[in-house]
Amino acid sequence: MWNFIIRNIAQRLILLVIVSFVAHSFIHLAPGEPSEVDPMNPRMKPEDIAKIRAAFHLDDPLYMQYAYWIRDLASGELKSFKDSQPVLPKIWDRFLNSLPLFILATLLVWTWAFPTGIYGAVFRGGVYDRGTVFLSYALISIPGFFLSYLAIMWVVGWFGVPVISIKTFGMEHAETAYRMMDRVWHLVIPSVMAAIGGIAVLSRYVRSQMLEVLSQDYVRTARAKGLEEDTVIYGHALGNALLPFVTMFGLLLPGLIGGSVIFEQIFAWPGLGRLAYEAILSRDFPIIMTLNFIAAVLTLAGTLLSDILYAVVDPRIRLH
Amino acid sequence: MSLDPEAMAPPETPWQEFLRIFRKDYQALFGFWVLMLLLVSALAGKALTEWWVVFDPEVVRLTDKFLPPFSVPSPDSLPTDRPFGGIYLMGTDELGRDVFARMFQGSFVSLSIGFVAVGISLGIGILLGGLSGFYGHVKLWCITVDTLIMRFTDAMMCFPTFFLILTAVALLPPSIYTIMMIIGLFSWMGTARFVRAEFLSIREQDYVTAAKALGIPEGRIIFRHMVPNALAPVFVSATIGVASAILTESGLSFLGFGVPPPDATWGNILSDGKGFIFDAPWLFFIPGMAIFMVVLAFNLVGEGLREALNPKLRSR
């Protein structure tokens, strides 16, 4: 077990080095430098551009830039090109903003997808099953921002509450109950919108996994023994059907950054996704690269976690 | 052995079997007809808006701004600028352009983005996955081909795809070809892993051993015997890939990195329309519903194909 974990961590560290190479060279080889964001500005003289390039090490060869990046990242002194703020605290602040959105969306996905999928599989071919399967296709087929705009119009028009951004400006002196409700409204709508895709995808996985298990021999045996249908489904089948999803806990982590760009942009939510978008607009290379790097670290940590979890919950799997 | 009446039925070719299952799937069949309609309208759109201009999507009529669907041109508009049939089927936008003509032109552009992007990602995915699955054991210096390719695939999978696409599209000069290429270049990883797994299992099948024993050259074994058998699941994921490419394009348009004008795509008509959601709702709802229908159709057809092509799911 420990042997497996240590070897896996070592493999993933090597992969991480490759990832950092790819992230760095990809960003730097793409045309367009931070110094060229505003090329039409007549006040930008060539000397100024050269000065900027020198200050950000952009005139050094690529491998030197990579070394600078890694050095600054490791020592925590990496500065944003745009405002010279340290990158890591900046990302941490935005991370804290994204966290409630991420947690609520994840909770929604997990609490909705499982019952939906399981009931669909148990009553296969029924109205409920066909309805939810079709609905899940419909929900992954709508452009996210189209649905979000409809939801905003509906919520604002029907309930008369503001939902854009993290809270209503100027409510600082309102009573606690009102402030709390305000925060809840602002949080719920974007979370639901971000969760919808996940619910649709996950419930179909759960359904097909449950169908797979229900056709196994041991379920037939349980039925043949004369056990009640509820015991067969919830006692014998459910646990086995849910096993693979334990691993998905690990794979959720990277969704923190990548999945949220559009939704945070729609709802003006000052989280990681928006930070990424703003960084891309201003060609803030340190932030783009660091976010990519962090996403990769999260992915690798997530897959490791899911491998280990799988071995822990499923005794049939032996780690070598 | 159970006496399954299906198993005792007279043998049919795989194609007949596929058709029989696919035809019973009403959702997939519905999706298929929507796609056929889309294909026709895309080709007609290309032909009628560019080669033989009946619907001109680029005519600006400042007298006819924000006309709702089914309205007739105002009397002040130039006679030469009248829409075909004398009616704006889907209304006009903020510049008085005919939304029907723009949607018509956009159907070709959107569809071609989907197809080209998926073509690129399939090409890379099949090539790398096939190499890794067939020649995986070959050693290059000190590491095997398989390790090399799959570690690179793993590294690419570590990045959040949409963020990566967004970064690339933002840094490169804006053009429709860039967007097609970028979406394709960053979505091949799933296909590669898929094809590798298929190849690894097909390589051990008896018919490949038989082909080798017959002395058939390696290239012929790969392309004549192995690739066709590995392609069925790839085809399914390609169908769904087109759907997600169209959605990605609309997402990029929303963030302001879509296909630059004057090319109309459904994504950028929708994202332009969101500014007029109260004054001219048709600018928002028509492209939104169109994207929804088409992506839904692709997803349903993909799922129908998966059911019809996957022998494990049958008879259940």
Residues of chain A with C-beta less than 8 angstroms from the C-beta of B296 = 137-138, 141
Q: Which of A148, A114, A124, A130 is nearest to A246 (CA)?
A: A114
Q: Output the pLDDT for position B5.
A: 61
Instruction: State the amino acid at position B164 in one-letter form.
Output: L
Has residue B314 got a pLDDT over 60? no
Give SS3 for A79: strand
Find the CB nearest B291 among A143, A149, A261. A143
Angle formed at CA B268 by CA B266 and CA B274, multiple of 5 degrees: 105
Give SS3 for A283: coil
Q: A22, A130, A137: best mutation site toward chain B, by most B Cβ within 10 Å?
A: A137
d(CA B250, CA B231): 28
d(CA B87, CA A287): 51
A143 contacts B250? CB cut-off 8 A: yes
CB-based burial of residue B10 (10 Å sphere; 0-12 exposed, 13-18 middle, 19+ buried)?
Answer: exposed
Measured from the Cβ of residue B151, the count of other Cβ atoms closer than 10 Å reads 15
State the DSSP code for A34: G
The number of residues making up chain A comes to 320
DSSP string, B124-172: HHHHHHHHHHHSTT-EETTEEHHHHHHHHHHHHHTS-HHHHHHHHHHHS
Find the CB nearest A144 among B27, B160, B251. B251
Whole-angstrom CA distances from A181 to A166, A189, A192 are 12, 13, 16
Task: For residue range B94-108, list pLDDT tens digits in order.
Answer: 888 888 888 888 889
Q: How far apart are the first and last CA of chain A?
A: 7
A145 contacts B274? CB cut-off 8 A: yes
Find the CB nearest A261 among B156, B166, B271. B166
Q: Is A218 on the interface with B (CB under 8 A)?
A: no
Query: How far apart are the CA of A300 and the nearest CA of chain B, in angstroms?
Result: 7
B27 contacts A280? CB cut-off 8 A: no
CB A107, CB A114: distance < 8 Å = no
Instruction: State the amino acid at position B269 in one-letter form.
Output: I
d(CA B25, CA A306): 36
CB B174, CB B257: distance < 8 Å = yes
Query: Taking the mean position of all CA atoms in its chain, how far away is CA A204?
Result: 19
Helix axes A285-313, A272-281, angle to 10 degrees: 150
User: What part of A 51-110 touches B (C-beta under 8 Å)?
Assistant: none
pLDDT band for A39, please (50, 70, 90 cuts).
low
Q: Output the pLDDT for position A38.
A: 65
Closest chain B residue by Cα to residue A276 = B163
d(CA A63, CA A59): 11
d(CA A256, CA B40): 41
d(CA A191, CA A319): 37
d(CA B160, CA A216): 36
Q: Output the pLDDT for position A41.
A: 72
Query: Taking the mean position of all CA atoms in its chain, how far away is CA B227?
Result: 21
Task: For residue range A166-219, list pLDDT tens digits in order.
Answer: 888 877 788 888 888 888 888 999 999 888 888 888 888 888 888 888 888 888
Q: Output the pLDDT for position B4.
A: 64
Give SS3 for B93: coil
Cis amide leading into B262 (omega within 30): yes
Residue B230: both structure tokens together: 């590995």
Q: Is A265 on the interface with B (CB under 8 A)?
A: yes
Measured from the Cβ of residue B103, the count of other Cβ atoms closer than 10 Å reads 23
pLDDT band for A242, please (50, 70, 90 cuts).
confident
Query: How far apart are the CA of A319 and the nearest CA of chain B, in angstroms?
Result: 20
A211 contacts B160? CB cut-off 8 A: no
Query: How far apart are the CA of A21 and the nearest CA of chain B, in angstroms?
Result: 10
Has residue B112 got a pLDDT over 80? yes
pLDDT band for B293, please (50, 70, 90 cuts).
very high
Q: Which of B157, B153, B156 is nearest to B129 (CA)?
A: B153
Closest chain A residue by Cα to residue B284 = A146
B168 contacts A137? CB cut-off 8 A: no
| Bridge partners, A118 (sequence order) | none
Q: Which positions in chain B have a beta carbon within 8 angstroms of at least one beta carbon in chain A? A: 27, 151-152, 154-164, 166-168, 170-173, 243, 247, 250-251, 254-255, 267, 270-271, 274, 277, 284, 288, 291-292, 295-296, 299-300, 303, 316
Which residue is listed with tokens 């909705």? A112
pLDDT band for B119, please (50, 70, 90 cuts).
very high
Q: Output the pLDDT for position B8.
A: 61
Has residue B316 got a pLDDT over 70? no
CB A311, CB A317: distance < 8 Å = yes
Q: Which of B307, B297, B304 is nearest to B114 (CA)?
A: B297
Q: Please state, for a pLDDT cut of 70, what percent of chain B lies above it.
A: 94
CB B25, CB B308: distance < 8 Å = yes
CB A57, CB A68: distance < 8 Å = yes
Q: Which of B235, B236, B245 is nearest to B294 (CA)?
A: B245
User: What part of A 143-182 touches B (C-beta under 8 Å)?
Assistant: 143-146, 149, 153
Burial code of B239-258, b = ≥16 C-beta within 10 A, e = fewer?
Answer: bbbbbbbbbbbbbbbbbebb
d(CA B75, CA B59): 17
A262 contacts B173? CB cut-off 8 A: no
A233-246 average pLDDT score = 82
The model's pTM is 0.86
A283 contacts B160? CB cut-off 8 A: no
E strand or H helix at A241: helix A238-252
Give B15's contacts (C-beta < 8 A, 6+ positions apart): none
Q: Which of B154, B255, B112, B225 is nearest to A262 (CA)?
A: B255
DSSP string, A43-78: T--HHHHHHHHHHTTTTS-HHHHHHHHHHHHHHT--
Q: Output the pLDDT for position B289.
A: 93
Q: Output the pLDDT for position B120.
A: 95
A36-56 average pLDDT score = 74
Query: How far apart are the CA of B75 and the nearest CA of chain A, in angstroms?
Result: 35
Query: How far apart are the CA of A180 and the nearest CA of chain B, in angstroms?
Result: 30
CB A273, CB A265: distance < 8 Å = yes
Which value, in Å, is the radius of gyration of the alpha carbons in chain A?
25
B270 contacts A262? CB cut-off 8 A: no
A296 contacts B274? CB cut-off 8 A: no
User: What part of A 283-302 touches B (C-beta under 8 Å)?
Assistant: 283, 288, 291-292, 295-296, 299-300
Residues of chain A with C-beta less than 8 angstroms from the C-beta of B288 = 142-143, 146
Residues of chain A with C-beta less than 8 angstroms from the C-beta of B163 = 257-258, 261, 276, 291-292, 295
Question: Chain-wide mean pLDDT for chain A?
Answer: 83
Which value, in Å, is the radius of gyration of the alpha carbons in chain B?
24
Measured from the Cβ of residue A254, the count of other Cβ atoms closer than 10 Å reads 24
d(CA A30, CA B171): 6
B252 compared with A2, residue with greater pLDDT: B252
Residues of chain B with C-beta less than 8 angstroms from the C-beta of A266 = 254
CB A25, CB B164: distance < 8 Å = no
Measured from the Cβ of residue B71, the count of other Cβ atoms closer than 10 Å reads 14
Q: Is A211 on the interface with B (CB under 8 A)?
A: yes
d(CA A266, CA A255): 17
Whole-angstrom CA distances from B209 to B128, B135, B213, B316 are 23, 16, 6, 32
d(CA B241, CA B20): 25
Task: For residue range B43-82, list pLDDT tens digits in order.
Answer: 888 888 777 777 777 778 787 778 788 877 777 777 777 7
d(CA B116, CA B111): 9
B267 contacts A141? CB cut-off 8 A: no
A1 compared with B306, residue with greater pLDDT: B306
Query: How far apart are the CA of B284 and the nearest CA of chain A, in angstroms?
Result: 8
Instruction: State the amino acid at position A120 in one-letter form.
Output: G
Give A242's contacts (C-beta < 8 A, 6+ positions apart): A114, A206, A209
